[in-house]
Amino acid sequence: MLNSETIAVAMSGGVDSSAVAAMLRAEGRNVIGLTMQLWNQRRLAGHEGMPESVQGRCCSIDDVYDARRVAETLGIPYYVVNHEERFERDVVRPFVEEYLAGRTPIPCSLCNNHLKFDQLLVVAQQIGADKIATGHYAQVAFDEQSSRWLLKRPADKSKDQTYFLFGLTQEQLSRTLFPLGGMTKPEVRELARKHRLVIAEKPDSQEICFVPGGDYKRFLEAYLSEQGDGATSIPTEKKAGEMVTTDGKVIGEHAGVHNFTVGQRKGLGVATGSPLYVIQINNDTRQVVVGKDEELYSRTLRARRVNLISTAELREPMGVTVKIRHKHQPAPALIESAGPDEIRVTFDEAQRAITPGQAAVFYDGDIVVGGGWIEAGRN
């Protein structure tokens, strides 16, 4: 029977994943709800810069209660699985280390690659589920011609989350369902209401889930203070250094490269006549290079640790559109192989603030060709 396969739904307690569980259940599938316990919000409470009581969204008890209530309403089995250790190792530490190295990381992609579509998929298979389903706005389809699983942009382009999913392997895609791929957000809410789910009116979450209030600097301070000296490979010195202009003139000092992101204008701590922006962060010399807005533009970037989806390899240069941050309008560019797992991107027109640590995701229309991590924006 087609519908007899068992699906594990990754439930966050939000509207989207709850709607997924409701849809699959209504289709008559065997559905198991799973929530990943990833981070203990109370852990950093009281550490440097953190209040005694921290209200973050990630794995908050309220969200788990919501997910549990939804599962109960739908009459599906539901479990919370603990992946705190893996989350810290594969998401939180890289997040901290990237900032300390002067880059601007995207923890959500790491979480997708290492937790949701890796650990959770393993748990799902172990407990007898053939596939997992999530509330991401994206589409997955098998292409007969190329014999490859394709990742595609969703019907609701305003909710497109494919940028965070570029790391999915063929194996992962073959075992994944994105049931919301053809729906709009209002339709999803309506579905949740129809099923009388308690979370139907719950607001969307936007921020990085483990960083309360979106204040990543405060999070870094608290995490480093908790870890203490020598407890990790993370250097605890603050990486203070010089602030220099693009022509090499020292115009001030800064407290650490982790306080800056390419394109940043506010909080530079130097006053000059014309507006200054962070153009580049040089981790080796600890220099933060600042300059004029027009100096932020670049036509090329190099992406490392590339994952290709629609094609197994890139033999010839390919014309695509490229997104360099989540809220970026995909820009026409040529991609070509630049070594193992490495791709050079040349845009038709220079792009503003290409930021190391972010992802470059390549699209062929609505199809995700692949993506990689931006290593350098100016070369």
Give the number of residues written for the chain. Answer: 379
* 257 CB-near residues (< 8 Å, 6+ apart): 100, 101, 102, 239, 241, 281, 283, 286, 288
Q: Phi-psi bin for 59: left (phi > 0), alpha (psi -120 to 50), beta?
A: left
Least CB distance to another protein at residue 186 (A): 30
Which one, of 304, 320, 303, lies nearest residue 369 by Cα?
320
Q: In what side-by-side order are the strands of the sheet with 6-10?
A: 78-82, 30-37, 6-10, 131-133, 176-177
- Least CB distance from residue 18 to another protein, whole Å? 17
The least distance separating another protein from the CB of residue 128, rounded to whole angstroms, comes to 6
Nearer to another protein among residue 79 and residue 297 (C-beta): 79
Query: Given the rule CB under 8 A, which residues bind another protein?
Result: 32, 35, 37, 59, 61, 64, 68, 77, 79-82, 84, 122-123, 125-128
Distance between CA 24 and CA 312 in Å, rounded? 31
- Candidates 58, 59, 108, 209; catalytic one: 209
What CA–CA distances, in Å, run from 344 to 31, 105, 337, 347?
43, 20, 6, 10
Q: How far is CA 139 from CA 83, 130, 154, 162, 369, in A?
A: 26, 18, 6, 8, 13
User: 343-352 and 297-308 as β-strands: parallel, antiparallel, unpaired?
Assistant: antiparallel
Respond yes or no: is residue 108 known to be catalytic: no
Tell me how far, at minimum, the Cβ of 122 lies from another protein, in Å. Answer: 6
Residue 117 DSSP class: I
Residue placing its CB nearer to another protein in the complex, 61 or 255 = 61
Minimum gap (Å) between residue 208 Cβ and another protein: 19
Distance between CA 255 and CA 252 in Å, rounded? 11
Nearest to 299 by CA among 265, 322, 325: 322
Is residue 111 among the annotated active site residues? yes
Phi, psi of 135 (to 5 degrees): -90, 20
Find, among 6, 17, 124, 3, the residue nearest to 66 by Cα: 17
Task: Please report, as a single letter, which amino acid is at residue 210.
Answer: F
Q: Exactly one of 58, 59, 108, 111 is catalytic; which is it?
A: 111
In the complex, the smallest distance separating the C-beta of residue 6 from another protein, rounded to whole angstroms, is 9
Q: Which residues are catalytic?
A: 111, 209
